[in-house]
Structure 1
Amino acid sequence: MGFPDRIERTIELTRPPAAVWAALTTAEGLGTWLGNQAVVDLRPGGTAQVKWDSGDKAELTIERVEEPTVFGFTWHIYGLPEQDPRRTYVEFTLEPVGAGTRLTMVESGFAQLPDDDYRKAYDANTGGWTHELGELVEYLNAA
């Protein structure tokens, strides 16, 4: 296919890895920066539900929990019918940098989609991650 399979973002955070880990993996954290409310069963095979005030919601299946360095999950692909079994994989990697943390987020799995579905999902998630990671920075800076 002639288009990228992944979205990757790296940001430098002033907070230590433990604080960033908590923001990524707890109901309080996810329910503040990613959505407006969350429930998290933090274990491989566990799930997390994230809800927004708009009524939108997302169900995450937790795939990797390697505290305090790697958190990964799969979730529904934007624009596909709810019953579609295809998912993308999102992985956060945390690396200590001085007193702060380098956070790398990679979402992959877009190449499984036909052109029209790909463009809708990839574009929406590219913009979505810019917004959501900005909210993560704000959440951590306010803590």
Structure 2
Amino acid sequence: MTFPDRIERTLQLAHPPERVWAALTTAEGLGTWFGNHAEIDPRVGGQAKLTWDSGDSATLTIERFEPPRVFGYTWPIHGLPDGDPRRTYVEFTLEPTGTGTTLTMVESGFAQLPDAEEHGVAHAGNTKGWTNELGELVAYLDGRP
């Protein structure tokens, strides 16, 4: 039995790529829509640290940083214990359009989880998570609380 390895979402945004890029790659942007606080060292090999008011946190390791087109990072897999070395890779690709930006987000690497329960928790949790987080990104870009 094979499990889905990736989650992919494409959004049409009425904002220029530079504005979307800033939302993805600055502490102000990330700390508003993707967490409650963020710190970022915006370079390949740098890290972004996100924290939520709930006490949750995540550390992202930047793998691709090609302003204002591609931002990619690895991060821990949802549902695995702290210290597990497996990571998924998340990549945002921005394409300018006549009216704004096409944003494509792909998270891959779930096939590392051959156990059905682990895979189900991670893939379903992140699928739901991206629906929420990308909705918050749109609200942030549109200036809505």
Q: TM-score if structure 2 supplies the norm length?
A: 0.97
Which residue does the alignment assign to 2:132? 131
Displacement, 1:107? 0.2
1:39 aligns with 2:39: yes
SS at match of 1:135: helix
| Deviation sequence 1:35-75 (CA, Å, 0-9, x none) | 00000000000000000010100000000000010000000
Aligned mates of 1:50, 1:119 — CA distance in 2: 24
Which residue does the alignment assign to 1:99? 99
Instruction: Map 1:111-126 onto structure 2 (within 5 A).
Output: 111-113=111-113, 114-126=115-127
Instruction: Return 1-10 or 117-126, whichever deviates more.
Output: 1-10
Aligned mates of 1:8, 1:71 — CA distance in 2: 15
Aligned mates of 1:46, 1:15 — CA distance in 2: 26
Give me the identity figure in percent: 68
Q: CA RMSD, aligned part only?
A: 0.9
1:17 aligns with 2:17: yes
Gaps in structure 1 of 5+ consecutive residues: none
Gaps in structure 2 of 5+ consecutive residues: none
Aligned mates of 2:116, 2:89 — CA distance in 1: 19
Which residue does the alignment assign to 1:88? 88
SS at match of 2:84: coil
Q: Number of matched residues? A: 143
Displacement, 1:99? 2.9
Which residue does the alignment assign to 2:75? 75
Question: Aligned AA for 2:127?
Answer: T
Question: Aligned AA for 2:103?
Answer: L
| Deviation sequence 1:5-60 (CA, Å, 0-9, x none) | 00000000000000000000000000000100000000000000000010100000
SS at match of 1:142: coil
